Every structure is written in C-alpha cells, then in structure tokens.
C-alpha cells in the first residue's frame, strides 16, 4: 500500500493573531515546544511510503522547505500563484501526482495546521479507509465530537458500507450553539476535519463532473509547470495566468456535498484544528484555578486566564476569563468568549495600514532571518541570522551605509573586490554604494548586528546584482 501525503499549507490563521500573521501563518509558528504544526504534520505522515506534496504560496516556499529539511525529508512544494481555496489546491496536487511515476496514486489530503498527538491512532484510522478509496470512493475522516462546538462543520453518518466505512448522509455547516447541542444529542455525527483519502483519478473525475471550470483552469496551469530543485526539495510552479482565472471555492462545496460516492471513517483520538486562542489554551495543562500559562507568564489571584509569553515576563493579577498573548511588537488582551473575533482585530489593523497586522518584527528569509531591534531618525539596528552555507544576495544601496558586528559564528564578507573572513567580536563597514555580500561558510548559524545609517533606510533601497534563490529585484523589495 502506497499513499502520497498532500499537505495543504495555505491559510493565514488570523484568529491566532498576533502570533500568526500573513507573512508567518500559524502552521509555521512553534506553538508546541520548538516544533511548528507543519513539522508535526510531516512527522505524523512519515509512515506513508511516498514523499509529500506540499501546496503553499510563493511567499512561504522556504518556510515549507525548512520544515521538510528539519525532518530530513524529500518532497515537492507546489506553489500556488494565488490563493483559490481547497478545490483548486487539491486539483493541482492531483494533476501533479498523475503526471509522475505512479499513474494513479492514493492521495491523503491533510491540513498543515492541525494538532493530532496520537500519530499511531491516526495512521490506523487512515488505513481503515484504504479499501473504500481503492474502490472508488472519496473518503473523509470525521472526528468523534467531545462537546457541542459551533466552530466546526459536521458530518452525519449514513449506513455501513461493505468496505468497512460508512456512507455520508449529509454535510452540515457550522451550527449555532443550540443546533450543535441538538446534533450531539441525536448522535451519529462527526466533526468535519477536512482530511480526505482518494485516488487521483477519482478526484479529477469528480471535479470534472461537479466543478469543470476549476479543473480546466488547473489543467491549463499544470500543462507546462516550471520545476526548480533545491537540495531534496523541488519547487513546482503552475502557469500563473491560467490559475489566476480560477474561481475560489472549498472542496466541500465544489465536490463533497454534491458527490454521490463519499465515505466516512470516524477518528476517536484527540484532535484540534488549533483555530482559536481558546483551542491553543486547551493544549496546555490548567492549574487549580483554571489558568494555563506558557513561556514566561505568571497568573496571580487569577482564574481561567491563558497567558502566552514566549519572550518576556508577563503577569496577570486578579484577572478572570482572559486571553493574554504577548509578542515583541504586539500584545493582545481579550475576553475568552471573544476568541473567534480576533480575526476582526486583524481587519481593523489592516484597514489602518498598521504593519503588525501582517508582518512580525522578526522576518523569515530563505537564507535565515532578521529582527528589527530598533529604528530612529537616520538609523536602524537589525539582528541577522544566516543559516550554515547560506548567502545573502550580492547587492548595493544608494542611500545607506552599514556596520556589521559578528556575535556568533564566522562570516565571509564580500566588499567590492575584497573577500575576507570575520569571526566573533570582529566588525566591518560597508560604505554607501559599495557592492557587498554576506556568506556563512561555517556549520553553525551566523549571527551579527547590523547598524544602518543614512538619509533613507527603506528596504526598497536594494539593488540586487546576484541571488542564488532566484528572487528578482523588482519582485522582492522587502528583504536582503
């Protein structure tokens, strides 16, 4: 039995702001210890024989590649030119899978941002759906509900099937609280987890029947995709113009609801879509007063308060039913019953062009990261980390000079015609207009402090002359 995992890495996770943001969504955020949800998803699917296909945006390609590399896993990253919801994302993946060695593989579609701690139970449940999928059904996996949730859609189970699964009587949209309570009392319903097992040909045929326009756009986009190999990872880019004309619709509306051969297998283990701060809070242990604390938080004379404080000390004194989420550049304090409205905060900030709505102070880059520590009139201070073997682009600036101080590791510096090494506690100066590059020749992360000074310090003052990551000067004005 060979199953190809397809991990859907889209979504902005706005309900987990300020930790999850457009530039760094929740699937890439280390919410549980030092691993992010995408890494945990890859671990959970390691039993599948075939390398994973990850469907992601161009902006997040190297975050996905880093997650694959952290698991020492090969894989393909299918880069959507724009977000067009799950029907198009799944169509692209099915078309890619059909174009390769195995003519008609079984595809296991999984969101990248779910938390399922019992990987063995999950694998057993998936295997229970193989017979139905091999027989031509689209198999979905529903979670046995533990409480009447209004945050999830539901699946009403039908009759038993000969292949060991059950038929789907109907899909139910996210219900109101009273309706959710009634559904649990009637029994025979499951939470819709958005996990599917299906042969590539079956999904393509179902799309042709129920959403032919979506399939046609995706077929046009995948007629001649561009492929770029970077180590064990291959980036696959569909043709953009064809895909941009595709309409946006979820796979549930496009295929699942109208299709006549959908089976369901119940999953009885612990599951969370980590869709709100209340859901995140439930992943940690409560004290005797119902407080849940991660990081450097302290709850004193407080009840039912959740504190997420990964960086600095945060104290809640005499609070009740609060969510307190701290990051270096934004703080959220909310009543717990307003957790679903955090996405409205993001919309409010975005409408006012407040940068913290979409970006963090610390920004991930293909070569590592940078953190804007301080900024003022005619100066800016950054802390920069460069991965082993990585290089920033060969570049110059028209309006600023830079001072580099190495604090960890070894740097290879190109400055004009010079190439020289710097070690810890050494520094160098890059004059305005000088061509330069920073490279890490070592086996540990290079860290340095960069002090910029000049009349203009915007990130668009970069003339990129050479770049190993394929970024174009006019397409990436916000990084080095």
pLDDT-derived band at 30 (thresholds 50, 70, 90) equals confident
Q: Phi first, then psi: what are they for 478, rounded to 5°?
A: -115, 20
Selected residue with higher pLDDT from 473 and 34: 34
Strand partners, 75: 52, 233
Q: Phi first, then psi: what are they for 79, rounded to 5°?
A: -100, 110
Average pLDDT, the chain: 93
State the average pLDDT over residues 386-408: 96
> Under a CB-based contact definition with an 8 Å cutoff, are residues 424 and 442 in contact?
no
The fold adopted by the segment(s) 362-466 is Jelly Rolls (2.60.120)
Share of the chain above pLDDT 70, in %: 97
Q: How do residues 320-343 score in pLDDT, each as one tens digit? A: 999 999 999 999 999 999 999 999
Q: Cα separation of 112 and 10, whole Å?
A: 8
Burial class (CB in 10 A: 0-12, 13-18, 19+), 216: middle
User: Alpha carbon 359 to chain centroid distance?
Assistant: 14
Q: Cα separation of 85 and 316, whole Å?
A: 39
Looking at residue 222, what is its pLDDT? Answer: 97
Looking at residue 232, what is its pLDDT? Answer: 87
Looking at residue 471, what is its pLDDT? Answer: 62
Looking at residue 467, what is its pLDDT? Answer: 83
Q: In which residue are the tokens 């017979």 written?
A: 131
HEC assignment per residue over 420-466: EEECCCCEEEECCCCCEEEECCCCCCEEEEEEEEECCCCCCCCEEEE
Contacts of 337 (CB under 8 A, 6+ apart): 321
Looking at residue 102, what is its pLDDT? Answer: 65
The structure's pTM equals 0.88
Three-state secondary-structure class, residue 12: coil
Q: Give CA separation, 342 vs 92, 284, 334, in Å.
A: 31, 20, 8
355-366 residues labelled b (16+ CB within 10 A) or e (exposed): ebbbebebbbbb
- Record the tokens describing residue 308, joined without a space: 């997420």
Whether residue 478 has pLDDT greater than 70: no
HEC assignment per residue over 286-327: CCCCCCEEEEEEEEECCECCEEEEEEEEEEEECCECEEEEEC
Find out whether the peptide bond into 18 is cis, omega within 30 degrees of 0: yes
pLDDT-derived band at 10 (thresholds 50, 70, 90) equals confident
Q: Cα separation of 165 and 238, whole Å?
A: 35
The fold adopted by the segment(s) 3-267 is Spore Coat Polysaccharide Biosynthesis Protein SpsA; Chain A (3.90.550)
Q: Cα separation of 174 and 186, whole Å?
A: 16
HEC assignment per residue over 102-153: CCCCEEEEEECCCECCCHHHHHHHHHHCHHHHHCCCEEEEEECCCCCCCCCC
Whether residue 13 has pLDDT greater than 90: no
Angle at 10 between CA 139 and CA 278, to 5 degrees: 85
Highest mean pLDDT among 218-232, 403-417, 465-479: 403-417
- Report the relative pairing of strands 379-386 and 446-454 from DSSP bridges: antiparallel
Contacts of 174 (CB under 8 A, 6+ apart): 150, 151, 152, 153
Q: Cα separation of 443 and 189, whole Å?
A: 52
Q: Boundaries of CATH 3.90.550.10 in the chain?
A: 3-267
Q: How do residues 268-303 score in pLDDT, each as one tens digit? A: 999 999 999 999 999 999 999 999 999 999 999 999
> Under a CB-based contact definition with an 8 Å cutoff, are residues 80 and 236 in contact?
no
Contacts of 2 (CB under 8 A, 6+ apart): 48, 49, 50, 102, 105, 106
Q: Boundaries of CATH 2.60.120.10 in the chain?
A: 362-466
Please measure the distance between the N-terminal and C-terminal CA atoms of the chain and give it in whole angstroms: 45
**Crossing angle (nearest 10°) for helices 212-221 and 85-98:** 50
């Amino acid at each position: 039995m060979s199953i190809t995992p397809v991990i859907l890495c889209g979504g902005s996770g706005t309900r987990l702001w300020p930790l999850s943001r457009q530039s760094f969504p929740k699937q890439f955020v280390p919410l549980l210890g030092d691993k992010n949800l995408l890494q945990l998803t890859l671990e959970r699917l390691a039993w599948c024989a075939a390398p994973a296909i990850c469907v992601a945006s161009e902006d997040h390609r190297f975050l996905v590649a880093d997650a694959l590399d952290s698991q020492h896993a090969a894989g393909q990253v299918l880069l959507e030119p724009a977000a067009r919801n799950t029907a198009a994302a799944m169509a692209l993946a099915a078309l890619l899978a059909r174009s390769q060695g195995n003519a008609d593989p079984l595809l296991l579609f999984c969101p990248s941002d779910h938390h399922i701690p019992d990987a063995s139970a999950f694998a057993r449940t998936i295997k229970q759906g193989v017979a139905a999928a091999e027989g031509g059904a689209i198999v979905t996996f529903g979670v046995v509900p533990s409480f009447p949730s209004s945050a999830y859609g539901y699946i009403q189970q039908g009759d038993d099937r000969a292949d060991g699964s059950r038929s789907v009587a109907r899909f139910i949209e996210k219900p109101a609280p009273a309706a959710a309570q009634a559904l649990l009392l009637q029994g025979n319903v499951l939470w819709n987890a958005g996990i599917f097992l299906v042969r590539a040909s079956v999904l393509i045929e179902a799309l042709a029947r129920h959403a032919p326009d979506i399939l046609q756009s995706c077929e046009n986009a995948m007629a001649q995709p561009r492929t770029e190999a970077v180590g064990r990872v291959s980036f696959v880019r569909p043709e953009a113009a064809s895909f941009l004309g595709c309409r946006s619709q979820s796979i549930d509306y496009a295929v699942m609801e109208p299709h006549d051969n959908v089976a369901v297998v119940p999953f009885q283990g612990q599951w969370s879509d980590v869709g709100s701060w209340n859901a995140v809070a439930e992943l940690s242990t409560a004290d005797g007063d119902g407080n849940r604390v991660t990081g450097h938080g302290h709850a004193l004379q407080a009840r039912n308060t959740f504190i997420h404080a990964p960086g600095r000390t945060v104290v809640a004194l005499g609070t009740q039913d609060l969510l307190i989420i701290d990051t270096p550049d934004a703080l959220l304090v909310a009543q717990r019953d307003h957790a679903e409205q955090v996405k409205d905060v993001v919309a409010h900030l975005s409408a006012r062009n407040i940068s913290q709505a979409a970006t963090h102070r610390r920004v991930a880059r293909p070569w590592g990261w940078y953190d804007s520590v301080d900024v003022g009139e005619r100066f800016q201070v950054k802390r920069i980390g460069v991965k082993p073997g990585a290089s920033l682009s060969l570049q110059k600036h028209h309006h600023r000079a830079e001072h580099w101080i190495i604090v960890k590791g070894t740097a290879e510096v190109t400055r004009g015609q010079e190439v020289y090494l710097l070690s810890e506690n050494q520094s160098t100066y890059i004059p305005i207009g000088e061509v330069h590059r920073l490279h890490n020749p070592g086996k540990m992360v290079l860290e340095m402090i960069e002090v910029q000074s000049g009349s203009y310090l915007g990130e668009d003052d970069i003339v990129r002359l050479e770049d190993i990551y394929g970024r174009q000067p006019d397409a990436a004005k916000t990084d080095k």
